[in-house]
Every structure is written in C-alpha cells, then in structure tokens.
Structure 1
Amino acid sequence: MKNKIFDDPEFQKLLTQIIEEQIPFCRLLGMKVHSLEPDSPALTLTMKPELLGNFAQGMLHGGVIASVLDSVAGVAILLKLAQQQPKEDVFSQLREFGLMSTIDLRIDYLKPGKGQSFTANAEVTRLGKRVANVLMTLRNEQNELVATGAAAFMLHERN
C-alpha cells in the first residue's frame, strides 16, 4: 500500500509555506493556499492595486492571471506525484517541485478579471514519465469563470 504523504500535515504545512512565503513571486502576488486536495488543488488571490492591468476598469492584469494558473498547475502536479509516486519522506517529496518546469502554457481570457478575490483550480489530466498535462480555471468571488488554461510541464529526472 502506498503511503499518503499528500495527506501528511507536515507535507501540507511545508508546501503551504513554500507557496505563500518562500517563492518570491507567489508572495509578491499574494497567493494563498485554499486547498491541497490532490484531484483539485486551489490557490486564492485577493485584488490589490498592484495587480491591476486596466486600472480605469479595475481589472486584474492578464499576466497575473497567467501566473496564478501556472502556479496552481505546478501544485497540482506535485500533489499528483505525491499521490501516485510517494517518496520516502516529506522533504524528498517536496524536492519534486524543483524538478519540473512549464514547457507550454495556454490561457483563454473569458471575462474581464473584475472582483475582490479569485480562486484558481487545477486538474492533472495526464501524468507521464517525462511530461504532465494540466487544465486550470480561475473564478472570481461571484463564481464567474474569468479564465481557463492548459499547461504542459517537463518532469526532470534527478541526476
């Protein structure tokens, strides 16, 4: 039986700390972990003036939208790896985060990014040996679908 490292409170605490405090860009944007559910993790973002793209209309910058979707995709892959290919300990599992990189990112901007808070979700659709594919969504607090995304990540082998 595989261990459930993704359910380990220490793993979840450390992953949350990495996302919210240790990745400088995620911290700059103000990303927060909402859920570390392996099949649909969620990150949240609260609107602030620095994140506006169209300040006259009060809309979230498209680059911020892409960044949040890219980030939640990476989290989804890490959690799926922990679920399907658990490592011997929490720290070994977290090191997997540094062994992946985005190789393709497509964003469809469906609606202006208006709102006070946003939630990004992701689902891994394929976890191969070298490439993972993910689908993502971003919704505002009114549950309006603001953007969708699709990403491919390279899974690098450890040397």
Structure 2
Amino acid sequence: MSQNPEFQSLLKQVVEQAIPFCKLIGLQVRSFTSDRPELRLAMRDDLLGNFAQGMLHGGVIASVLDSVAGVAILLKLAQTQPREDAHAQIREFGLMSTIDLRIDYLKPGKGRAFIASAEVTRLGKRVANVLMELRNEEGERIATGAAAFMLHGRA
C-alpha cells in the first residue's frame, strides 16, 4: 500500500493541505520511501527564531521532526499492515499521537531549505519509536530527534 499512487496522493494532500500547521509553515512531501521518508521546508522570514542571525526557530525544527516521524510511521504501517484501501490507510494518521519527543539542536538552523527524514526503529502493537534528522540544503545536520508515538486503536 505504501507505493500505491492513490495513497501517496492522499498522504501528500494531508501533509501539505489538511494539517493546518504543516500548511502554515509550508511543509512538502519530498519522498514516500517507507524506510526513510523525507519532508522539505523552505526558509522564510516568518520561520525565523533568531532574526538577527537568520536562524530557523527551534519550535519549527521540533515540529518538522515530529511531523516526519508521523509520516514515517504511517508509511511503515502501509508497508507492513496494509488496509483495504488508501482512505482506510490514511485514517491511520488520526490513530496515532506523540507521547515522547526529544530534539538535539546540533547547529544553528541556517539555510535556504531543510530536509527532514525519519526511520522507524520499532513498530509495536501500541507504540512506535522513530529516529529523525534535519539537514539544510548543503547537507549539514542541524538537529536530530527521537520520538515515541502511541498507536491508538490498533489490533
């Protein structure tokens, strides 16, 4: 299901249009690979935390890493536990929530664009664990993260 074009189209629409905060900051799906999906964020003045130095706000960094973790889990579920159709698979997004999020800020968030990626390290029946990273367009690692998500309503 993770490579199903209808599912990918729905996922892109959810991330880029349906989730208000993701839409607000301009998050875009860059890659649908179930092993390491990627989201892209273009730098804008209204995303700055340190406006004097032109650095991306730490809260935006944390939000982007949280978002890519959720996408990674959804894609892993689609790969390992496919549902009957793309709409049922997308509804899995509403059945998960972040229960722990840790961010390590490694470098100032400078760049014109940022790529967030994530890898699901454990997909249990009730909890999923994910490792994430954010790099700028030059490949510099800006931040890393680890998250745990509750999977509500899974059998």
TM-score w.r.t. length of structure 2: 0.99
The letter of the residue matching 2:138 is Q
User: Does 1:59 pair with 2:60?
Assistant: no
1:158 is displaced (CA, Å) by 6.0
- Deviations, residues 62-116 of structure 1 (Å, cap 9, x unaligned): 0000000000000000000000000011111000000000000000000000000
Match of residue 141 from structure 1: 137
Where do residues 1-159 of structure 1 align in structure 2 (5 Å cutoff)?
A: 5-157=1-153
Structure 2, unaligned stretches of length 5 or more? none
Residue aligned with 1:114, SS: coil
Aligned 8 A contact 2:126 2:154 in 1: no
CA RMSD in angstroms, aligned pairs only: 1.0
TM-score w.r.t. length of structure 1: 0.96
Structure 1, unaligned stretches of length 5 or more? none
Aligned 8 A contact 2:40 2:115 in 1: yes
Structure 1 runs (4+) deviating above 6 angstroms are none
Counterpart-to-counterpart distance in 2, 1:23 and 1:90: 18
